[in-house]
Copies of this chain bind each other. A is one copy, B any other.
Amino acid sequence: MTEETEAPVVGLLSCVVDEPESQTRAFEQQRRQRDSMMAQDYCELIADLIDAQGEARAVDISRRLGVAHATVVNTIGRLQRDGYVLQQPYRSIFLTEAGRALALECRRRHQIVLRFLEALGIDPETARADAEGMEHHVSEPTLAAFERFIAERKDSP
Residues of A in contact with B (beta carbons under 8 Å apart): 1-4, 6, 8-9, 12-13, 15-17, 19-20, 22-30, 33-34, 37, 41, 48-49, 51-55, 63-66, 92, 117, 120-123, 125-130, 132-134, 136-139, 141-142, 145-146, 148-149
Contacts and interface: CB of A to CB of B under 8 A. Distances in A.
A104 to B, nearest CB: 12
* 5 closest Cβ pairs, A-B complex: A133-B137, A4-B54, A26-B132, A16-B52, A12-B51
10 contacts: A1-B54, A1-B55, A2-B55, A16-B52, A17-B52, A25-B129, A33-B133, A123-B141, A126-B141, A130-B142
A21 to B, nearest CB: 9
B13 A52 contact: yes
B24 A64 contact: yes
A56 to B, nearest CB: 11
What is the copy number of this chain in the assembly? 2
A128 to B, nearest CB: 6
A69 to B, nearest CB: 14
A53 B12 CA distance: 10
A16 B103 CA distance: 14
Contact of A63 (B6, B12, B24, B133): B24
